[in-house]
C-alpha cells in the first residue's frame, strides 16, 4: 500500500519539482540581471515627466507612442522603465531583509529549541506576543516610528517577521534535539553550543533555506504594501507598490499603469514561493 | 494555565505598543491644530491629553483607565476610543467571518474533489491551482480581483460597505446580519456585493491551505481499516469519503485553520484599505498616519484580544469535536 | 451448488509480479472453508478480491468469482458493491483500527441496515441490541452509545463480529480475526464465531496461518503457497494424511501441546525448494500460455 503511493508520488513530484525550480529560478535571475543593469536596460528615464505624453497606452493599443512599450502614467513617465527600476528596490529589500530576518529568526529559534529551559520560555513568550500583532499594522506603525527609507523597511520586516523562522526552526531543533545522534555527540564530549552548531544546524538547514526564499517573497510584498500606503522610500525612485497605488486611482482610464507592475509583482512573489517549494521537494530525503 | 499565558501576552502587547508609538516622531497635537497655533496652544492641548507627563506615568494612567473601561480619547476625532473602535468592529468581523466561510467552502470543495478523483488529472489540476493560491498573498489577490471584477467585468462593487445613496434602517453596525434579520434582502444583496471581493481576496490563501491540508489528511484516512470495512458494506466512494473519512480528517486541519484565521484577520488592514471598506483596519491605517496615539493603542489591543479569543475558541472546538478528548 | 465459486483467479500488482496464481476453490452454503499459508501466501488477497476491497495498486488479471451464481468481476462497480454489501460481510483482523473513532458503536452496526437495506431506524436499533446480546456483551444499550476508544480490544472484536452478522449475510470473510488479540481472548472469540456461524448457517471463508484454529472451526481447507493452491481437501483428510509435501511439513511444524518435548520442526529447505519449483513452473506456463 505505502510503496505504491511512493512510486506514483515520487515520479510525479520529481517532474514537477524540476520544472518549478527552473521556471522560478529563471525569472528571478532575469529580475536580478534587469535590476543590476537597470540604468542601461531601461529605455527611458524613469523619473522624466512629460505631461503631453501622459496616459499613453501600451504599444499594441491604438494611440501608443513608439518607445513607450508599456505605456505611460498620468505624469507621462514610462511604465516599463519604472518597472525595471522598481526591481532594484524590490530585490534589494528581498535579499537584505530576507537574509537578516533569517539569521536572527533562525538563531533565536535554534537557541529556543535546543537549549530549552528559560531561554525557550522567554523566546516562546516573545513569539506569542509578537503574533498577537496584525503584521501589516505593525509594519505601518514601525515605519511611522522609523521614518520612511529603505533601511526602515528592512528593519521593519526583520522586526515583524523573525517569528516565522523562530517558530519553525524551534520546532525542528526540538525534534532533532531528541534524536540519538545528538545524545551521542554530547556523550562524546561536545559542548552544548558546539552540538547545536555542528550537529543540529546542518539538519535544520534545508528548512531554513526554504523559509528564506519564502521570506524574500514576503519582503517584496511588504515593501509593495508599504509603498502602496505611501510609507515606503522617501525619494521619487519608482517602486512597484507606488505604481500600483497610482494605478489604482486611474484604473478606469489607464489600466496599464496598474496591470504591468501588478503582473511583475505577482510573478516575482510566485517565483520566490515556487522556488521554495521546489527546493523543499529537492531536499526531501524520501525523494533523494 | 492558558489564561495566565494569555494575560501575559495581552499585557506584553499593551506595553510594547504603548512605548513604541510614543517614540513616533511628529507631534500629533501639532498636526491637528491650524497653522497659526502658538506654542501655548500646543502645550495646553498636550497637557490635556497627558502627553507632557513621563512615559511610565502615562502608561499607568492609561492602564487605570482601561480597568474602568476608558480607553482614552481619540486625538483626531475627539471621541472616546472605545466607541470608535467598537463602532468599526462589526464591519471587520463580518468581513473576516464571511472570508472564513468562503475559505472553508472553497478549500473543502477542492479537498473533497481532489480526493474523490485522486490519481488523475483532476487532482493534478487542483494541486496546481492550490499551489498558486498558496503562494500569492491576499493583497495581490485583492488587486487582481479589482481588475477582473471591478474593471473588466463590473459585477461586484470594489469600494465601500454599501452604496452611499441607500438609506440604512440599522441600529447596529452589523449590516450583513441586520439586513437579514429585518428581511431587507435588497439591502443584503447590496452589502454582499460590496463585501464579496474583499472577502474573496482574504479567503483565497486560507482556502488553499485548507484544501491542501484536508486533502492530505483525507487521503491518509482513506487507507485506514474502518474505511475499507465501510466499503464492504456497500457504500460508494463519495459516501465513504463524506461519512467515514471526513470527520476524522478534518480534525487536524482545524488547529491550523485557527492560526491562519488570525492571519486572515490581520490581512483586513490592507484589504480594507484597498477596497475602501469602512472597517477597523482602514481606521487603523489612518490612525497611524495621523499619529492618533490613543486610537492606535485601542485598535492594536483590540486586535490582540480578537486573536487571543480565536485561539481559545479553536482549542475549545477541538476538545468538543474530538471524542477521545471529551471523555478524557 | 456452492455459494461461492472462485475459478482460476489471478491477481497481481499493477505492472508487477503475480500475487495469486489461478486460485480455485468452492464454498458451499453454510460451509466453513479455511485458507491457510504463511505470511504473504496470498490468503488475505483472496478474501479481499471476493469482497471487492483489493488495494488500488493491485488488479485482477483473470478468472471468475461467482457469488450465488453471478460473476462479480463482470459486474459494473456500483452493482458489484451493492451485491457484495447485501450478501457478504467482513470480520476484520485488527479491532483497534476497524471501528471509526468518531462514530458511536450503534450507528456502525446499524448503518448498512438503514442506508443500504432500507430498514427503519427502530428495527435496526433493535437488531443491534439482539446481536450484541448474541455476542455476549452485557449492557448492550450502554455499549451502543459508546465510542470505540472506551472499549477493550476483545469487546471491539465481538462488536465487529456482531456487525458482520447484522444483515444475515450468506458469506462472511474472516481475515485472521484472532491474530491481533490476546491469547486468553482468542479462544473465546473463536468459539463465538463458530457458534454464530452454526446458528446463522452462514458460509465462512476463514483466513488464518494457525492450523490449530482450522482444525477446530473449518470443514474444508485450502493451503496456499506464493499465491498458488497446493492442497484443497477436507479438514479430516488433511490432518489424517496430507497429500502435498508442503502441507505435511506445515503440519509437522505446528507445535503440539500434547508433545512439548518434541523440538521445533521448521519446514525443510528441500520442501520449500520443491514447492518454489512448482510456482516457477506455473509462471513459465503462464508466460507461454
Q: Following DSSP, what letter does each residue of B232-253 receive, concatenated?
A: HTT--HHHHIIIIIHHHHHHHH
Q: Which of B104-113, B283-292, C105-114 has the lowest mean pLDDT?
A: B283-292
- Return the bridge partners of C220, or none: C33, C234
C40: alpha, beta or left, given left = phi > 0 and alpha = psi -120 to 50? left
For chain A, the chains sharing at least 3 beta-carbon pairs closer than 8 angstroms are: B, C
Test B308 with A132 for CB contact under 8 angstroms: yes
Q: Is C172 a residue whose pLDDT tops 90?
A: yes
Q: What pLDDT band is residue A288 in, cutting at 50, 70 and 90?
A: very low
Q: List the one residue out of B303, B103, B85 whose CA is nearest residue A140.
A: B303
Test B233 with C88 for CB contact under 8 angstroms: no
Q: What pLDDT band is residue A4 in, cutting at 50, 70 and 90?
A: very low
Q: Which of B264-278, C129-143, C180-194, C262-276 has the lowest mean pLDDT?
A: C262-276
Q: What is the pLDDT of residues C19-35, one digit of tens each?
A: 999 999 999 999 999 99
Nearest CA in chain C to A3: C57
Test C55 with A1 for CB contact under 8 angstroms: yes
- Sheet containing C171-175: give its strands across: C88-91, C171-175, C203-208, C32-36, C220-225, C228-234
Using a CB-CB cut-off of 8 Å, the residues of chain A touching B119 are 8
Nearest CA in chain C to B234: C85
Q: Which of B102-106, B136-140, C284-288 has the lowest mean pLDDT?
A: C284-288
Q: Is A131 a residue whose pLDDT tops 90?
A: no
Q: Which of A235-249, B103-117, C72-86 has the lowest mean pLDDT?
A: A235-249
Test B231 with C53 for CB contact under 8 angstroms: yes
What pLDDT shows up at residue C90?
A: 95
What pLDDT shows up at residue A14?
A: 57
**Contact present, C153 and C181 (Cβ < 8 Å):** yes
Residues 6+ apart with CB under 8 A from A119: A111, A112
Q: Does residue B84 belong to the interface with chain A, where contact is any CB pair within 8 Å?
A: no
Output the average pLDDT for chain A.
83
Test C100 with B226 for CB contact under 8 angstroms: yes
Nearest-Cα distance to chain B for A126, in Å, is: 8
Q: Does residue A251 belong to the interface with chain B, where contact is any CB pair within 8 Å?
A: yes
Q: Does residue A8 belong to the interface with chain B, where contact is any CB pair within 8 Å?
A: yes
Q: Is A7 a residue whose pLDDT tops 60?
A: no
Q: What is the pLDDT of residues A61-79, one digit of tens each?
A: 887 777 788 888 888 888 8
Using a CB-CB cut-off of 8 Å, the residues of chain C touching B243 are 111
What pLDDT shows up at residue A2?
A: 44
The rounded distance, in Å, linking the Cα atoms of B247 and B224 is 13
**Contact present, B281 and B273 (Cβ < 8 Å):** yes
Q: What is the pLDDT of residues A212-222, one digit of tens each?
A: 999 999 999 99
Q: What is the mean predicted confidence (pLDDT) over A181-189?
A: 77
Q: Is A5 a residue whose pLDDT tops 50?
A: no
Using a CB-CB cut-off of 8 Å, the residues of chain C touching A1 are 55, 57
What pLDDT shows up at residue B98?
A: 95
Q: What is the mean predicted confidence (pLDDT) over C279-286?
A: 84
Residues 6+ apart with CB under 8 A from B245: B115, B218, B221, B222, B224, B227
Q: Is A1 a residue whose pLDDT tops 50?
A: no
Q: Is A168 a residue whose pLDDT tops 80?
A: yes
Q: Is A285 a residue whose pLDDT tops 70?
A: no
Q: What is the mean predicted confidence (pLDDT) over B286-291?
A: 84
Test C86 with B234 for CB contact under 8 angstroms: yes
Say what the alpha-carbon torsion angle C34, C35, C38, C42 is, to the nearest 10 degrees.
Answer: -170
Nearest-Cα distance to chain B for C13, in Å, is: 17
Using a CB-CB cut-off of 8 Å, the residues of chain B touching A277 are 131, 135
Say what the alpha-carbon torsion angle C188, C191, C196, C197 is, to the nearest 10 degrees.
Answer: 140
Output the average pLDDT for chain B.
84
Q: What pLDDT band is residue B7 in, cutting at 50, 70 and 90?
A: confident
What pLDDT shows up at residue B33?
A: 63
Q: List the one residue out of B227, B239, B223, B209 whose CA is nearest residue C102.
A: B227
Taking only residues 23 to 82 of chain B, the set having a beta carbon closer than 8 angstroms to any beta carbon of chain C reads: none
Closest CB from B230, B235, B323 relative to C147 = B323
What pLDDT shows up at residue B53?
A: 72
Question: Which three three-digit cell numbers place residue C76?
Answer: 459494473
Q: Does residue A4 belong to the interface with chain C, where contact is any CB pair within 8 Å?
A: yes
Using a CB-CB cut-off of 8 Å, the residues of chain B touching C110 are none
Q: Does residue C285 belong to the interface with chain A, where contact is any CB pair within 8 Å?
A: no
Please report where in the chains the cell 452454526 appears, as a residue: C198
Q: Is A157 a residue whose pLDDT tops 80?
A: yes
**Contact present, B88 and B280 (Cβ < 8 Å):** yes
Nearest CA in chain A to B297: A141
The rounded distance, in Å, linking the Cα atoms of A227 and A152 is 12
A-C CB pairs within 8 A amount to 8
What pLDDT shows up at residue C256?
A: 66
The rounded distance, in Å, linking the Cα atoms of A192 and A197 is 9
Test C84 with B226 for CB contact under 8 angstroms: no
3-state secondary structure of B73: strand
Q: What pLDDT band is residue A48 in, cutting at 50, 70 and 90?
A: confident
Q: Which of A97-111, A261-275, B30-44 has the lowest mean pLDDT?
A: B30-44
Highest mean pLDDT among A155-169, A242-256, B55-69, C235-249: A155-169
Question: Which three three-digit cell numbers place residue B82?
Answer: 472605545
Question: Which three three-digit cell numbers place residue C254?
Answer: 505446528
The rounded distance, in Å, linking the Cα atoms of C132 and A74 is 81
Q: What is the pLDDT of residues A132-148, one digit of tens each?
A: 888 888 888 888 777 77
Q: Which of A239-248, B224-233, B289-298 has the lowest mean pLDDT?
A: B289-298
Q: What is the mean predicted confidence (pLDDT) over B163-178?
A: 83
Residues 6+ apart with CB under 8 A from C52: B231, B232, C72, C80, C81, C84
Q: Which residues of B266-297 are buried (b: 16+ CB within 10 A; e: fewer)?
A: bbbbbbbbbbebbbbbbbbbebbbbbbbbbbb
Q: What is the mean predicted confidence (pLDDT) over A40-61?
A: 82
What pLDDT shows up at residue A38?
A: 83
Q: What is the mean predicted confidence (pLDDT) over C221-249?
A: 88
Strands (E), chain C: 2-13, 18-28, 32-36, 58-67, 70-71, 88-91, 171-175, 203-208, 220-225, 228-234
Residues 6+ apart with CB under 8 A from B8: A125, A129
Cα-flanking dihedrals φ and ψ of residue B59, to 5°?
-60, -45
Residue bearing the bigger pLDDT, A251 or C165: C165
Q: Does residue A1 belong to the interface with chain C, where contact is any CB pair within 8 Å?
A: yes
Name the packing angle between helices B185-221 and B246-274 (round to 10°).
140
What pLDDT shows up at residue A3?
A: 43
The rounded distance, in Å, linking the Cα atoms of B84 and B94 is 17
Q: Is B178 a residue whose pLDDT tops 50?
A: yes
Q: What is the mean predicted confidence (pLDDT) over C232-250?
A: 86
The rounded distance, in Å, linking the Cα atoms of A244 and A247 is 5
ipTM reported for the complex, 2 dp: 0.89
The rounded distance, in Å, linking the Cα atoms of B110 and B113 is 5
Q: Does residue B228 belong to the interface with chain C, where contact is any CB pair within 8 Å?
A: yes
Q: Which of A55-64, B133-142, B253-262, C127-136 has the lowest mean pLDDT?
A: A55-64
Nearest CA in chain C to B221: C100
Q: What is the pLDDT of residues B235-284, one digit of tens each?
A: 989 989 998 888 888 888 887 888 899 899 999 999 999 999 999 999 99
Q: What pLDDT band is residue B25 in, cutting at 50, 70 and 90?
A: low
C262: alpha, beta or left, given left = phi > 0 and alpha = psi -120 to 50? beta
What pLDDT shows up at residue A99?
A: 94
Nearest CA in chain A to C56: A1
Whole-structure pTM value: 0.84
What pLDDT shows up at residue C8?
A: 92
Taking only residues 22 to 61 of chain B, the set having a beta carbon closer than 8 angstroms to any beta carbon of chain A reads: 23-26
Portion of chain B with pLDDT greater than 90, in percent:
32
Q: How far apart are the first and last CA of chain B?
A: 18
Q: List the one residue out of A229, C70, A209, C165 whose CA is nearest residue B273.
A: A229
Q: What is the mean predicted confidence (pLDDT) over C61-75?
A: 91
What pLDDT shows up at residue B179?
A: 84
Q: Does residue B300 belong to the interface with chain A, where contact is any CB pair within 8 Å?
A: yes
What pLDDT shows up at residue C280?
A: 86
Test B225 with C85 for CB contact under 8 angstroms: no
Burial (0-12, 13-18, 19+ Cβ within 10 Å), B209: buried
The rounded distance, in Å, linking the Cα atoms of C54 and C57 is 8
SS (H, E, C) chain A: CHHHHHHHHHHHHHHHHHHHHHHHHHHHHHHHHHHHCHHHHCCCCCCCCCHHHCCCCCCCCCCCCCCCCCCECCCCCEHHHHHHHHHHHHHHHHHHHHHHHHHHHHHHHHHHHHHCHHHHHHHHHHHHHHHCCCHHHHHHHHHHHHCCCHHHHHHHHHHHHHHHHHHHHHHHHHHHHCCHHHHHHHHCCCCHHHHHHHHHHHHHHHHHHHHHHHHHHHHHHHHHHHHHCCCCCCCCCCCHHHHHHHHHHCCCCCCHHHHHHHHHHHHHHHHHHHHHHHHHHHHCCCCC
Q: Does residue A131 belong to the interface with chain B, where contact is any CB pair within 8 Å?
A: yes
Nearest CA in chain C to B322: C102
Amino acid at each position: 500500500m505505502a510503496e505504491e503511493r511512493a512510486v506514483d508520488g515520487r515520479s510525479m513530484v520529481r517532474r514537477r519539482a524540476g520544472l518549478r525550480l527552473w521556471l522560478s529560478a529563471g525569472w528571478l535571475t532575469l529580475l536580478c540581471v534587469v535590476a543590476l543593469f537597470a540604468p542601461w536596460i531601461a529605455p527611458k528615464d524613469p523619473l522624466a515627466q512629460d505631461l503631453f505624453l501622459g496616459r499613453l497606452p501600451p504599444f499594441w493599443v491604438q494611440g501608443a507612442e513608439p518607445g513607450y512599450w508599456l505605456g505611460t502614467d498620468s505624469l507621462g513617465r514610462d511604465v516599463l522603465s519604472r518597472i525595471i527600476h522598481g526591481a532594484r528596490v524590490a530585490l534589494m529589500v528581498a535579499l537584505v531583509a530576507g537574509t537578516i530576518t533569517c539569521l536572527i529568526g533562525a538563531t533565536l529559534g535554534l537557541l529556543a529549541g535546543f537549549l530549552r529551559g528559560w531561554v525557550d520560555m522567554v523566546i516562546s513568550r516573545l513569539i506569542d506576543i509578537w503574533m498577537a500583532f496584525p503584521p501589516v499594522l505593525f509594519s505601518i506603525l514601525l515605519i511611522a516610528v522609523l521614518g520612511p527609507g529603505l533601511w526602515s523597511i528592512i528593519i521593519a520586516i526583520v522586526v515583524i517577521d523573525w517569528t516565522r523562522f523562530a517558530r519553525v526552526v524551534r520546532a525542528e531543533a526540538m525534534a532533532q534535539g531528541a534524536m540519538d545522534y545528538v545524545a551521542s555527540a554530547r556523550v562524546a564530549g561536545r559542548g552544548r553550543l558546539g552540538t547545536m552548531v555542528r550537529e543540529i544546524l546542518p539538519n535544520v538547514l534545508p528548512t531554513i533555506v526554504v523559509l528564506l526564499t519564502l521570506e524574500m517573497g514576503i519582503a517584496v510584498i511588504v515593501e509593495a504594501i508599504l509603498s502602496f500606503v505611501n510609507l515606503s522610500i522617501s525619494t521619487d525612485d519608482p517602486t512597484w507598490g507606488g505604481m500600483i497605488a497610482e494605478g489604482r486611482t486611474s484604473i478606469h482610464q489607464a489600466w496599464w499603469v496598474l496591470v504591468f507592475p501588478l503582473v511583475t509583482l505577482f510573478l516575482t512573489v510566485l517565483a520566490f514561493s515556487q522556488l521554495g517549494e521546489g527546493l523543499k521537494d529537492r531536499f526531501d530525503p524520501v525523494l533523494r | 494555565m492558558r489564561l495566565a499565558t494569555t494575560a501575559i501576552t495581552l499585557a506584553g502587547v499593551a506595553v510594547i505598543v504603548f512605548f513604541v508609538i510614543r517614540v513616533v516622531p511628529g507631534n500629533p497635537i501639532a498636526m491637528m491644530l491650524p497653522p497659526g497655533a502658538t506654542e501655548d496652544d500646543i502645550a495646553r492641548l498636550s497637557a490635556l491629553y497627558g502627553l507632557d507627563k513621563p512615559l511610565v506615568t502615562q502608561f499607568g494612567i492609561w492602564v487605570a483607565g482601561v480597568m474602568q473601561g476608558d480607553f482614552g480619547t481619540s486625538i483626531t476625532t475627539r471621541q472616546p476610543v472605545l466607541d470608535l473602535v467598537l463602532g468599526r468592529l462589526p464591519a471587520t468581523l463580518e468581513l473576516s467571518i464571511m472570508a472564513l466561510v468562503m475559505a472553508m467552502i472553497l478549500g473543502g470543495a477542492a479537498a473533497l474533489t481532489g480526493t474523490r478523483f485522486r490519481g488523475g488529472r483532476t487532482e493534478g489540476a487542483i494541486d496546481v491551482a492550490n499551489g498558486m493560491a498558496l503562494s500569492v498573498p491576499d493583497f495581490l489577490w485583492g488587486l487582481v480581483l479589482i481588475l477582473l471584477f471591478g474593471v473588466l467585468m463590473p459585477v461586484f462593487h470594489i469600494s465601500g460597505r454599501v452604496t452611499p445613496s441607500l438609506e440604512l434602517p440599522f441600529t447596529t453596525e452589523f449590516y450583513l446580519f441586520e439586513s437579514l434579520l429585518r428581511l431587507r434582502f435588497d439591502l443584503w444583496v447590496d452589502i454582499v456585493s460590496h463585501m464579496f471581493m474583499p472577502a474573496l481576496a482574504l479567503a483565497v490563501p486560507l482556502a488553499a491551505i485548507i484544501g491542501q491540508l484536508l486533502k492530505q489528511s483525507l487521503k491518509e484516512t482513506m487507507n485506514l481499516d474502518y474505511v475499507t470495512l465501510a466499503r464492504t458494506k456497500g457504500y460508494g466512494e463519495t459516501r465513504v469519503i463524506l461519512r467515514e473519512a471526513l470527520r476524522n480528517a478534518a480534525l487536524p486541519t482545524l488547529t491550523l485553520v485557527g492560526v491562519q484565521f488570525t492571519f486572515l484577520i490581520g490581512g483586513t488592514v490592507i484589504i480594507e484599505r484597498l477596497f475602501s471598506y469602512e472597517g477597523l483596519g482602514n481606521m487603523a491605517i489612518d490612525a497611524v498616519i495621523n499619529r492618533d496615539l490613543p486610537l492606535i493603542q485601542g485598535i492594536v489591543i483590540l486586535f490582540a484580544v480578537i486573536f487571543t479569543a480565536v485561539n481559545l475558541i479553536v482549542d475549545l472546538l477541538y476538545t468538543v469535536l474530538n471524542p477521545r478528548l471529551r471523555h478524557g | 451448488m456452492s455459494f461461492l465459486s472462485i475459478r482460476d483467479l489471478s491477481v497481481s500488482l499493477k505492472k508487477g509480479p503475480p500475487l495469486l496464481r489461478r486460485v480455485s476453490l468452492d464454498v458451499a452454503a453454510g460451509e466453513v472453508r479455511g485458507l491457510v499459508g504463511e505470511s504473504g501466501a496470498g490468503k488475505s488477497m483472496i478474501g479481499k478480491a471476493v469482497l471487492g476491497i483489493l488495494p488500488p495498486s493491485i488488479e485482477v488479471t483473470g478468472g471468475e468469482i461467482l457469488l450465488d451464481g453471478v460473476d462479480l468481476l463482470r459486474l459494473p462497480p456500483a452493482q458489484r458493491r451493492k451485491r457484495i454489501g447485501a450478501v457478504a460481510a467482513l470480520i476484520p483482523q485488527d479491532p483497534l483500527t476497524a471501528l471509526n473513532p468518531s462514530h458511536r458503536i450503534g450507528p456502525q452496526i446499524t448503518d448498512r441496515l438503514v442506508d443500504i437495506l432500507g430498514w427503519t431506524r427502530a428495527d435496526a436499533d433493535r437488531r443491534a441490541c439482539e446481536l450484541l446480546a448474541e455476542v455476549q456483551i452485557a449492557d448492550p444499550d450502554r455499549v451502543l452509545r459508546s465510542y470505540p476508544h472506551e472499549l477493550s480490544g476483545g469487546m471491539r472484536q465481538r462488536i465487529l463480529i456482531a456487525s458482520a452478522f447484522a444483515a444475515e449475510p450468506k458469506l462472511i470473510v474472516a481475515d485472521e480475526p484472532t491474530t491481533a488479540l490476546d491469547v486468553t481472548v482468542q479462544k473465546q472469540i473463536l468459539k463465538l464465531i463458530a457458534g454464530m456461524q452454526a446458528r446463522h448457517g452462514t458460509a465462512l471463508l476463514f483466513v488464518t496461518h494457525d492450523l490449530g484454529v482450522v482444525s477446530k472451526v473449518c470443514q474444508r481447507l485450502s493451503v496456499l503457497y506464493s499465491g498458488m493452491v497446493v492442497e484443497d481437501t477436507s479438514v479430516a483428510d488433511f490432518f489424517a494424511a496430507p497429500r502435498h509435501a508442503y502441507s505435511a511439513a506445515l503440519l509437522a511444524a505446528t507445535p503440539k501441546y500434547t508433545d512439548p518435548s518434541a523440538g521445533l520442526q521448521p519446514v525443510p529447505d528441500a520442501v520449500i525448494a520443491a514447492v518454489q519449483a512448482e510456482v516457477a513452473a506455473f509462471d513459465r506456463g503462464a508466460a507461454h500460455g
